[in-house]
Each structure stands twice: as C-alpha cells, then as structure tokens.
Amino acid sequence: MSRHIPFGVAQPDHRRRAAVRWVGLVLCMLSWIGAYPAHTEAAELEPTRPFRNYKWGQHLASFGDMEVVHVSEIDDMTLHVYRKPEDDLSLGAGLLAASIEYIFLDERLSAIGVTISTEIDLDSAGSEMRSISEEYRTALAAADSESTRRMLFDSLVWELYMTLQSSLSAEWGSPRQADWERTEWVQGNDVALLFRGGVQAGELRLPFLLLAINSPAFEQWLM
C-alpha cells in the first residue's frame, strides 16, 4: 500500500474548477521569460506524450464510465470536462494527482488537466522527493501559525513545480516559454502548460498541468 504524506494544509475545492479556468490565468501572469537551474535528479514521471495512451480526438464513448464535472461555453465552443470515478492518481516519482480532468469538444478529447497534489507517495519517490517530504513534514510539525504554514505551502509548491519542469523538459525538450509562474512546451501536435500555483490572492492553489492538442481551438482558449 502506498504511503502518502499529507502536508496538513487545507486544499481548495477543485471539483468546481474546470481546467479551462486555469488556462485563463495565463492572461494574468508575467510575460518575463527566465531561466531556471535544473534539479540534479529529474523525476521519473510517467510519460505525458501521450498521457496514458489516450489520443487527441478519441471519442468519449471509448473512455467507459465518466462523470461530468463542468460545462464551459467559450465563444461558439462547448467544452465538457469529465473525470473517471476510479482513475489512477499516481503519476510516478512520488507525485500524485489531486484530480485528473478530461476535456472534450464535440465529444472528442481535446485536453487533459492534471492538478498536482501536495501529498508525496514515498513508495515511488526518489531520494530528492523523499528529502522534500521529510523537510516539509518536520517544518510543518513545528509551525505555530497560519502564516508560517502558508509560507511552507508556497515553498513546497515551488519544489513540485521545479521537479515537474525538470522532468517534462527531459521528455519535451526546451520550453517555448518559461517564467516564475508558468512553463510552456510545444512538440508537433502536442502542447503542455505547467502552472506553479502557490499562495495567490489569499488562496492556496495547487500546481496544474494542462496537456492539449496544438490547434486553433487551443489558441482560442488562451484569448
């Protein structure tokens, strides 16, 4: 059985957040492009190209049991966001998903949104993730205020963001764009957007990975 380390910080309710809402955050983010030092140990994340062998354009009927969590109208498009009730939330390398959402346009798979949990699965974690979990477990046990816990949460999210950035760059190559809040990769028909999250406007936001088909429809979501 997997051992998970909960970090004791209340998480926002993501059931009402569609992945496309996170895409809209792009408009609020800094456009500055920065360089990051790579982690010495790149996480062995499960492949994201393709994610779990799903294909863009795959019909909804082939996914089996799914539940609708959100419907979004964007211009002349209607996006349906689904979840699989028994989905595997383990992503490898000690990383876990808080939720995985499948976004369909005209009943065809167009994007996948993965919200990253702050829990660490020690059974699949490497030495770097184990060290991160131990440091934060110790620090949270000694935290005596909400402001301290929020600071620790923000720091943990940064570590997860950097770990994911390093792993995804190993698979996708150099990012097309990167800053302190978002990293973007494009390879052929595939696009990946990684959002850092953290303490933003008084809310605790988890890291979020959006995988999508590289198409005019995708670009329209960003406008």
pLDDT in tens, 94-129: 999 999 999 999 999 999 999 999 999 988 888 888
Task: Answer whether residue 110 is part of any domain.
Answer: yes
Higher pLDDT, 54 or 13: 54
Task: Answer whether residue 34 is part of any domain.
Answer: no
Task: Answer whether residue 50 is part of any domain.
Answer: yes
Helix (H) or strand (E) holding 141: helix 127-142
* Lowest mean pLDDT, pick from 14-28, 33-47, 129-143: 14-28
Q: Please give the tally of structural domains in the chain.
A: 1
Task: Answer whether residue 168 is part of any domain.
Answer: yes
Mean pLDDT of the chain: 80
What pLDDT is attached to residue 5? 37
Higher pLDDT, 221 or 48: 48
Quick one: average pLDDT of 191-214? 91
What pLDDT is attached to residue 75? 76
Task: Answer whether residue 83 is part of any domain.
Answer: yes
Task: Answer whether residue 35 is part of any domain.
Answer: no
| Range of the structural domain that residue 203 is part of | 4-28+40-215
Tell me if 169 sits within 8 A of 74, measured CB to CB: no
Residue with token string 């999250």: 197
Task: Answer whether residue 220 is part of any domain.
Answer: no
Task: Answer whether residue 223 is part of any domain.
Answer: no
What pLDDT is attached to residue 219? 62
What pLDDT is attached to residue 172? 96
Distance CA 32, CA 109 (A): 31
Quick one: average pLDDT of 206-212? 95
Helix (H) or strand (E) holding 218: helix 216-222
- 40, pLDDT greater than 50: no
Tell me if 115 sits within 8 A of 14, measured CB to CB: yes
Question: pLDDT tier at 220 (50, 70, 90 boundaries)?
Answer: low
